[in-house]
Amino acid sequence: MFPLHREREQPIFSTRAHVFQIDPATKRNWIPASKHAVTVSFFYDANRHAYRIISVGGTKAIINSTISHNMTFTKTSQKFGQWADSRANTVYGLGFATEQQLHQFAERFKEVREAARLAREKSQDKMELNTTALSIAAPQFSQDLCDELQSPPAMCVNGPEDKLFRSQSADITLSSEKERIKKMLSEGSICEMNLESELFTLQDSNAKLVAALHEANANVEQWKKQLAAYQEETERLRDQVADLEVHGSQGPSDMLKDELTQSLEELENLLKAKDEEIRILQSKKSNFHELEQEREEAIHRLQVVEDITTELEMRNVDLERRVQNAEQNLASALEDRERAENEVQRVVQILDVKIFDLNDLRQSLVKLISK
């Protein structure tokens, strides 16, 4: 029985280490996330071409870090290393038992980071297609499980018949429990994939909004500088025209005055055009304030999506454990039913022998009576 999320993500490397997280208050001290060494694994998602580091302590996910191309794993001592996860807003630390384990983890981290970078470059133009493909339904294993759980008809024999009925009742109960758990697993996985798709969409929209806002601010500053220069040039030409009007009696100045007047008119027209452009840009800038608010809301939604994703993963782990327990109970019930069937067969054989002996005894009695 393979868990649902394991069919989407496959482990590629595992080791054991003590897990720590940075203290969010001091940003200096380490807080132990596990009381003892736990398994830390690299997982690869073939659908999204993404890599994650996951560690589960009991039913709680203590590490859930998606590896990006700009992450770096740093060795701070012979047996300790750390990396920062900006998406989770924390720093993870791992303490290994040997220096060799630390070296193996660091090398695998570099390999996975490089693979994540290559996958990101290949899938950047196909992000929408990949996120749509995340909504694939759960794997088709329900039919096989239902076939396994179909219980055979009970044998109507006195004595062991009660055990058979109890075994079949346990089979029906376990079958209903497993169907309910499979349904919850399927719904949780689909919800998780939809949330991840929305997460990538919001991140892309956020990046576009920030870039557009920066570009608009830069354009406004540039136009303001050009407007100030044009205004200075206009004032200077107006002063020259005024001087020429005062000394209008000189003949050659009339031609120069006409040229300056024409230049002044051109500059005034250009100034009006620039004023209109600045007005348009300012109106766009007011719209960008609204976009900035939408970006803040998107960031908040991203955090909510990440929290829900972590909670769903924890629920998947708990449901996986419950499925395993149900399988164990089913196996035990099947063993009890098999033992009951064997006992029934043995009783039937004994009854056959007894019936044969009684038949012989009856024939002997008939012979004695006839004599």
Nearest alpha carbon to residue 4 among 263, 313, 236, 343: 313
Q: Quick one: pLDDT at residue 258? A: 74
- Looking at the domain assignment, is residue 98 inside a domain? yes
Q: Which of 329, 364, 348 is nearest to 176 (CA)?
A: 329
Res. 200: pLDDT tops 70: no
Mean pLDDT within 303-320: 88
Is the pLDDT at 257 greater than 90, yes or no?
Answer: no
| Residue 61 domain flag | yes
Q: Lowest-pLDDT range, 6-15, 16-25, 38-47?
A: 6-15
Q: Judge whether residue 251 has pLDDT over 60.
A: no
105-132 pLDDT, tens digit each: 999 999 999 988 888 787 665 655 444 4
**pLDDT score for 151:** 43
| Assigned domain for 21 exists | yes
Band the pLDDT of 221: cuts 50, 70, 90. confident
Q: Is the predicted pLDDT of residue 150 greater than 50, yes or no? A: no
pLDDT at 227: 82
Residue 5 has pLDDT above 50, yes or no: no
Q: Categorize the per-residue pLDDT at 182 as very low, low, confident or very high, splitting at 50, 70 and 90.
A: low
- CB proximity list for 106: less than 8 A, separation 6 or greater: 73, 75, 81
Domain that holds residue 20: 11-130
Return the SS3 of 317. helix
What is the average pLDDT score of the chain? 77
Query: What is residue 11's three-state secondary structure?
Result: strand
Query: Is residue 278 one of the residues assigned to a domain?
Result: no
| Phi, psi for 52 (deg, rounded to 5) | -135, 150
Q: Does 112 reside within a domain?
A: yes
pLDDT digits (tens, 9 = 90+) for 323-357: 999 899 999 999 999 999 999 989 998 998 989 88
Q: Is residue 336 part of a domain?
A: no
Amino acid, single-letter form, for residue 31: I
- Other Cβ atoms less than 10 A from the Cβ of 270: the count is 15
How many structural domains is the chain composed of?
1
In a domain, residue 343? The reply is no
Note the pLDDT of residue 170: 56
Q: Note whether residue 74 is domain-resident.
A: yes
Which of residues 100 and 276 earns the better pLDDT score?
100
| Residue 109 and residue 75 in contact, taking contact as beta carbons nearer than 8 Å | no
Q: What are the pLDDT digits (tens) for 258-289?
A: 777 787 888 888 888 888 888 887 777 667 77
Least confident of 1-15, 73-87, 228-242, 306-320: 1-15
Taking the model in full, what pTM does it have?
0.35
Q: Residue range 37-53: average pLDDT? A: 89
Q: Cα dihedral sign for 136, 142, 145, 147?
A: negative
CATH of residue 60: 2.30.29.30
pLDDT tier, 145 (very low <50, low <70, confident <90, very high otherwise): very low
